Amino acid sequence: MRIALIGYGSVGKAFARLLESQRKRFPFRITAIQTRKYTAYDPKGLPIDPEWGPPASVPEFLDKAQPEVVIEITSLNPVDGEPAISHIRAAFARGLPVITANKGPIAHAYASLRAEAAAHHILFRFESTVMDGSPVFNLVRNNLPGVTIHGISGVLNSTTKVVLAEMAQGRSLADGVRLAQEMGIAEADPAYDIDGWDSAAKTAALANVLMDANVTPQMVERTGIGAITPEEIQAAAAAGFVITLVSRAKREADGSLTLTTRPERLPEDDLLANVDGTSNVLLLHTDLMGTQGIVSVTPGVEQTAYGLFADLVDIAQQL
Amino acid sequence: MRIALIGYGSVGKAFARLLESQRKRFPFRITAIQTRKYTAYDPKGLPIDPEWGPPASVPEFLDKAQPEVVIEITSLNPVDGEPAISHIRAAFARGLPVITANKGPIAHAYASLRAEAAAHHILFRFESTVMDGSPVFNLVRNNLPGVTIHGISGVLNSTTKVVLAEMAQGRSLADGVRLAQEMGIAEADPAYDIDGWDSAAKTAALANVLMDANVTPQMVERTGIGAITPEEIQAAAAAGFVITLVSRAKREADGSLTLTTRPERLPEDDLLANVDGTSNVLLLHTDLMGTQGIVSVTPGVEQTAYGLFADLVDIAQQL
């Protein structure tokens, strides 16, 4: 199966390594890569460090690459999800299935992308957009038939967890951000994490896909952690509470959706307060299956790459 | 689709209620029920409280019932998994797919049942055997392609969690067992929980299915919680530790499997120590996907019934 990658950063390279390691069982080949500055093509399959040629627009690239699947992994534009949304539409326009690890399109334009994919009978997968590749969307689709999700709660941003843990030790927010950057987990602009935009985008993506919402991150009631002091965290800890950035989506009795991302003061034995380090936790509140929890333990770029791979296997089985 | 139930206790009734509530979308009908004392048949579908007729052996029952799927939900025999294993074989002999919520057959005879089902091209599902219906086996099969599981750790028994929490408050083991019985979660013989047999059976079932082991609960190195004192738990708590009954399976460097179920003294911020109440947690340690966590939050009989339903939808899609 011929794969075209749009974007080739750390996730793309981890994905290329993963495909190499699984080649015997899964005959997938990356035959084209496009970045902002370069392109590379080889219908027999590209090496992890390919020889780069001149740049091309995404439509030019796709027309030359002639892939069977397109993987969109450009870096996130948190404001409106572009240009990733246009990249996906360019693939759809050519009848090509798309996998993305980019939460922008799912947080900003899922309802219309879903409709476009359905109208053209094209598969569209995005497992790695919210929980670093842990089964969330595929879990609900494959394993929870008949279930209605009426609420979601989660601690979904690793950077704020690291920062708040540092502040609990008496260090400053800036110290915490520095540590998260050293660990390689903070977004390019850490304000995107600290101000709650990353968590709000994940909340919107989850609500769009799992609760049939049609919202954007801007529609999530959002408070970041910028105003929290080390003293506040330490006073909470002394009283048996943990302050953490929690994302929630809830279907109200009147059918409306309430979406929030904000620091919450949780009892220290609350599951949401209790998943340490960079690990994330997501709880799905359902009608038939009670509450179902998913924990992504110390996720890294390899997990995100694996989520792309799982989506690829899913698409390959259906083509 | 015509369904025959073997066994009709609280899970069976919850399952019957669930099917009724989902009838519009999922046209499944329970057309025959066998218990130790009675049988009931109606090809048009049985009500939740059917009129009972005389008893029959399982082969007689299946021949009369002519179902399309058999659901085995008799109560557990922890020693050898019988008669459930024979019930499943009677269904296989008739070419019928089987779903079970009974961990005995998976813990005692999975390798041979899997081989028999494969030889006859029969589907065999058992999602509700270990985590009360939470996606575990179906999650690995559907959502983790190419992944090898090299270790499993979990806190899988609700009764011992309740008992140890009571003892942490200074009450006795007997007090804790009484509370678990009042909550309706203890096994018929609570020694089965306290001595670690339930957890050992779940460990064997997980290892058999997910790590291709061919073991029985008796082959799990097993220590129960009977020797633990409230003082010991309180001393651990004062030092920042929690004592809990942990199940582990680990593939060693030489390819052998180490299987244990025993009380462990875990740091209080360990994820395994931190899922409260009757909730269970399972961590899958993998090659490609790091560690993946599944939390079954306050599971009950409705969740177990839902696991049967999810298996049934899976089978219906493939028949």
Grouping H, G, I as helix, E, B as strand and the rest as coil, residue A25 is coil
What does the pLDDT read at residue A78? 74
| A214-229: average pLDDT | 97
What does the pLDDT read at residue A92? 98
- Higher-pLDDT residue of B186 and A201 is A201
Please tell me the distance from the alpha carbon of residue B209 to that of residue B167, in angstroms, as a whole number.
34
CB–CB of B25 and A134 under 8 A?
no
The pLDDT-based confidence of A79 (bands split at 50, 70, 90) is confident
- Higher-pLDDT residue of A275 and B229 is B229
Of A26, A276, A288, the CB nearest to B269: A276
Q: Could you tell me how many helices (H) and strands (E) chain B has, helices first?
A: 11, 12
The catalytic position among B13, B161, B202, B250 is B202
For residue A198, pLDDT beyond 90: yes
CB–CB of B271 and A145 under 8 A?
no
User: How does DSSP assign B60-94, residue by residue?
Assistant: HHHHHH--SEEEE-PPP-TTT-TTHHHHHHHHHHT
Of B134, B269, B271, the CB nearest to A292: B134
Residue pair A218/A121 in contact (Cβ under 8 Å)? The answer is: no
Please tell me the distance from the alpha carbon of residue B122 to that of residue B113, in angstroms, as a whole number.
10
CB–CB of B292 and A143 under 8 A?
no
**Residue A139 touches chain B, beta carbons under 8 Å:** yes
CB–CB of A290 and B303 under 8 A?
yes
Residue pair B101/B304 in contact (Cβ under 8 Å)? The answer is: yes
Residue B252: is it exposed, middle or buried by C-beta count within 10 angstroms (0-12/13-18/19+)? Answer: exposed
What does the pLDDT read at residue A268? 87
Name A221's bridge partners. Answer: A260
Residue pair B107/B201 in contact (Cβ under 8 Å)? The answer is: yes
* CATH 3.40.50.720, domain A2-134+301-318, yes or no: yes
Quick one: what percent of chain B has pLDDT higher than 90? Answer: 92
Grouping H, G, I as helix, E, B as strand and the rest as coil, residue A208 is helix
- Higher-pLDDT residue of A75 and A182 is A182
Known catalytic residue at B202: yes
What does the pLDDT read at residue B47? 97
| B146-159: average pLDDT | 97
Q: Give the range among A292-301, B36-45, B267-276 with minimum mean pLDDT.
A: B267-276
What DSSP element (H or E) covers B159? Answer: helix B158-168
The pLDDT-based confidence of A288 (bands split at 50, 70, 90) is very high
For residue B77, pLDDT beyond 90: no
Mean pLDDT score of chain B: 95
Residue numbers of B between 103 and 132 with CB closer than 8 Å to A: none
What does the pLDDT read at residue B143? 96
What are the strands of the beta sheet with B69-72, ordered from one edge?
A: B39-41, B29-34, B2-6, B69-72, B98-100, B124-125
Minimum distance, in Å, between the CA of residue A60 and any CA atom of chain B? 33
What does the pLDDT read at residue B289? 96
In this structure, what DSSP letter does residue A98 have?
A: E
What does the pLDDT read at residue B240? 93
For residue B304, the tally of other CB atoms under 10 A from its CB is 23
Domain residue spans in chain B?
2-134+301-318, 149-296
For residue A187, pLDDT beyond 90: no
Residue numbers of A between 223 and 282 with CB closer than 8 Å to B: 269, 271, 274-276, 279, 281
CB–CB of A306 and B292 under 8 A?
no
| A182-210: average pLDDT | 93
Nearest CA in chain B to A311: B143
Nearest CA in chain B to A290: B303
Q: What share of chain B is helix, strand, coil (3-state, %, to 5)?
A: 40, 20, 40
| A177-198: average pLDDT | 91
Structure tokens at B42: 């109606």
Q: How are beta strands A149-155 and A241-251 bridged, if at all?
A: antiparallel
**pTM for the full model?**
0.96
For residue B76, pLDDT beyond 80: no
Nearest CA in chain A to B304: A289
Residue pair A167/A173 in contact (Cβ under 8 Å)? The answer is: yes
Classify domain B149-296 at the CATH topology level: Dihydrodipicolinate Reductase; domain 2 (3.30.360)
The pLDDT tens digits for B190-212 are 899 999 999 999 999 999 999 99
CB–CB of A145 and B291 under 8 A?
no
What does the pLDDT read at residue A153? 98
What are the strands of the beta sheet with A149-155, ordered from one edge?
A: A221-222, A257-267, A241-251, A149-155, A280-286, A291-297, B291-297, B280-286, B149-155, B241-251, B257-267, B221-222
CB–CB of A271 and B295 under 8 A?
yes
The pLDDT tens digits for A98-155 are 999 999 999 999 999 999 999 999 999 999 999 999 999 999 999 999 999 999 999 9
The pLDDT tens digits for B229-255 are 999 999 999 999 999 999 999 999 999
- Higher-pLDDT residue of B211 and A275 is B211
**Residue A303 touches chain B, beta carbons under 8 Å:** yes
The pLDDT-based confidence of B82 (bands split at 50, 70, 90) is very high
Residue pair B126/B311 in contact (Cβ under 8 Å)? The answer is: yes
What does the pLDDT read at residue B319? 86
What does the pLDDT read at residue A77? 76
Mean pLDDT score of chain A: 95
Grouping H, G, I as helix, E, B as strand and the rest as coil, residue A162 is helix
Instruction: For chains A and B, count residue pairs whose Cβ atoms are closer than 8 Å.
Output: 129
Contacts of A25 in chain B (CB under 8 A): 146
ipTM given for this complex:
0.95
For residue A257, pLDDT beyond 80: yes
